[in-house]
Amino acid sequence: MATLTDEINRRRTFAIISHPDAGKTTLTEKLLLFGGAIHVAGAVKSNKIKKTATSDWMEIEKQRGISVATSVMGFNYGDYKINILDTPGHQDFAEDTYRTLTAVDSVIIVVDVAKGVEQQTRKLMEVCRMRNTPVIIFVNKLDREGRDPFEILDELEAELKISVRPLSWPINIGAKFKGVYNIYEHSLDLFTPSKTQVTERVEIDSVDDPRIDEAVGEKDAAKLREDLELIEGVYPPLDVDRYLEGKVAPVFFGSALNTFGVKELLDCFVKIAPSPRPVTAEERSVSPDENTFSGFVFKIHANMDPNHRSCIAFVKVCSGKFERNANYKHMRSGKMMRFAAPTAFMAQKKSIVDEAYPGDIVGIPDTGNFKIGDTLTEGENLHYKGLPSFSPEMFKYIENTDPMKAKQLEKGIQQLMDEGVAQLFTNQFNGRKIIGTVGQLQFEVIQYRLLHEYGATVRWEPISLYKACWIESDDQAALEAFKKRKHQFMATDREGRDVFLADSNYVLQMAQADFPKIRFHFTSEF
């Protein structure tokens, strides 16, 4: 019988991240195909999975065709149990993606060979760096015209601030793309553009093997040898420990749409990517192989059924074995809870699960008990650290337009904030509520959900703000003096912490210069 350690060692829990359109959905689908989790190409793309399993959860997605949801796709590949945590592609929901990154053990970054590193990728990489998350990079769309691969490698290093090491290498790109040389395993895969998904593998002994010349022609073979020599000269061999520390990223080249280079990526991924690692709680570091269960909520998915105000709390199992109907302590409330219908996510299907292991994600039906970041344990006092909130990019006053529905509105706002949809600040001067978001779309989602789930109607009123900064000082008198001077611009966040609302970069800089005893923070944890 498999032991807890066996179960942990075979798990790979990760997320695929990219700038929209680089090919995340296509790559996800191809990985699911390899895992037998889906059987038709296009199942994800044609939105069968996206729209039924995940996107139906919120009607707004149907209207907008944007995947607001973050869902989980589990499947077996060989001896491995793989959990892919999907992230919303739209950048207005970036905060959702940041939180999902707290629940993964590694990530695969998809980059478009023509576009290189784009803005969203840069931001997501920053979050990975904060946690030293190991990353593998897949350079996609080699079947299209794009940039020189060496140039891409330089850009990856410069823009993502991580060392890279190519493990496969393309032979030409675009119309002349002939295939990929697998540096990791010394084999050559030939690309046949007309026959998608069919690749011919040429087994070779080394780069000097004449079979390469036969397969791609002398000229391209010579260029390949030249490139590989340069690679070996410039990039040290992959040091897996440095990859696991998040210091170096292996790079693969391919075409997700043509299933080219994807299997190589997956095979290498399962070999080197980490199984669940120890997780840091405020009290101590918790190892996955500890006997007692613990986990945390990283995502709350609302409104599975619009008729009931039900949610699913996504719990990442961090240690021990999770069991259905066992008694677990909800740390924030101190209450013991039992879960009769926890669900697992295998091959696109959601089904009741009796047990789950570290690395797995369990969905727990909920009616408002959970908040993002909540910890569950068998009884020990542990608090897992979530990701801090970042200072929002956009701010609006939220105003009630139906006085009869004040209570519903209050409840709705609290619940949406618990889910982490946006951040709420209350102005200390006039008591008005300010919602801070990453993008415009979130305001629309909030308005829509308040109406459809809580029957509350709201109006947004503009407020011109540049940043919200959490402030603190060792000098209480200095803090009070600052708050007094800036009283119109002081707010409190939901935890009651002082937040300074700066209406311009200039004002912020002046405040920093005038009040040297005050520390200004742009994330909520310091």
Residues forming the annotated binding site?
A: 18-25, 86-90, 140-143
Position 25 contacts ligand G4P (CB under 6 A): yes
Q: Which is nearer to ligand G4P, 141 or 316 (CB)?
A: 141
Annotated binding-site residue numbers for GTP = 18-25, 86-90, 140-143
Decide whether 141 or 329 has the Cβ nearer to ligand G4P: 141
Instruction: Closer to ligand G4P by CB, 139 or 279: give it.
Output: 139
Residue 143 is a binding residue for ligand G4P (CB under 6 A):
yes
Piece of the chain touching ligand G4P by CB under 6 A; list 141-149, 280-288, 297-305, 462-470: 141-149
CA distance 440 to 93: 10
Among 10, 11, 24, 433, binds ligand G4P (CB under 6 A): 24
Least separation in angstroms between CB 85 and ligand G4P = 14
Q: Annotate 215-259 with DSSP letters as a single string.
A: HH-HHHHHHHHHHHHHHHHHSPPP-HHHHHTTSEEEEEE-BTTTT
Smallest distance, ligand G4P to C-beta of residue 93, A: 13
Task: State the Cα–Cα distance between residues 298 and 58, nearest whole angstrom.
Answer: 19
Q: What is the layout of strands, in order, in the sheet containing 519-521?
A: 458-462, 394-400, 433-437, 423-427, 490-492, 498-502, 467-472, 519-521
What is d(CA 515, CA 509) in angstroms, rounded to the nearest whole number? 10
Stretch that binds ligand G4P, among 20-28, 56-64, 90-98, 169-177 (CB under 6 A): 20-28
Residue 107 binds ligand G4P, judged by CB under 6 A:
no
Determine which residue in the list 23, 250, 288, 363 makes contact with ligand G4P, applying CB under 6 A. Answer: 23
**Nearer to ligand G4P (CB atom), residue 140 or residue 168:** 140
- For 209, the token pair is 């093997």
Picking from 13, 26, 64, 84, the residue whose alpha carbon sits closest to that of residue 445 is: 64
CB 23 to ligand G4P: min, Å: 4
DSSP single-letter state for residue 52: I
Amino acid symbol at 439: G
CB of 352 to ligand G4P, least distance (A): 30
Q: How many residues of this chain bind ligand G4P (CB under 6 A)?
A: 18
Question: What span, in angstroms and rounded, lies between the C-alpha atoms of 85 and 28?
Answer: 10
How far is Cα 452 from Cα 465, in angstroms, rounded to an integer?
A: 29
Using the rule CB under 6 A, is 26 a contact of ligand G4P?
yes
By CB under 6 A, tell whether 45 contacts ligand G4P: yes
Q: How many Cα atoms are found within 13 Å in the side-chain-facing hemisphere of 179?
A: 22
Asked if residue 65 binds ligand G4P (CB under 6 A), the reply is: no
123 binds ligand G4P, rule: CB under 6 A = no
Under DSSP, the state recorded for 510 is H
Rule CB under 6 A: say whether 189 interacts with ligand G4P: no
Nearer to ligand G4P, 55 or 258 (CB): 258
How far is residue 364's CA from residue 341's CA, in Å, rounded to a whole number? 7
DSSP 495: T
> Which helix (H) or strand (E) is 110 found in, with range?
strand 106-112
CB of 89 to ligand G4P, least distance (A): 5
Distance, first Cα to last Cα, the chain: 45
Tallying the residues shown for the chain, one arrives at: 526
Contact 399, 458 (CB under 8 A): yes
* Interface with ligand G4P, residue 90, by CB under 6 A: no
Beta bridge partners of 77: 80
In the list 2, 5, 6, 20, the residue contacting ligand G4P (rule: CB under 6 A) is 20
**Member of 48, 64, 115, 144 binding ligand G4P (CB under 6 A):** 144
- Beta bridge partners of residue 229, listed in sequence order: none
Out of 82, 257, 434, 471, which residue is the one contacting ligand G4P (CB under 6 A)?
Answer: 257
- Using rule CB under 6 A, residue 96 touches ligand G4P: no
Query: Which among 159-167, 256-264, 279-287, 310-318 is the span making contact with ligand G4P, rule CB under 6 A?
Result: 256-264
Strands 11-18 and 80-85: parallel
Q: Which H or E element spans position 177?
A: none
Q: Is 87 a binder of ligand G4P (CB under 6 A)?
A: no
Residue 49: CB minimum distance to ligand G4P, A:
13
Q: Which stretch binds ligand G4P (CB under 6 A): 139-147, 219-227, 305-313, 458-466?
A: 139-147
Using CB under 6 A as the criterion, which residues of the chain lie in contact with ligand G4P when the complex forms? 18, 20-26, 45, 89, 140-141, 143-144, 255-258
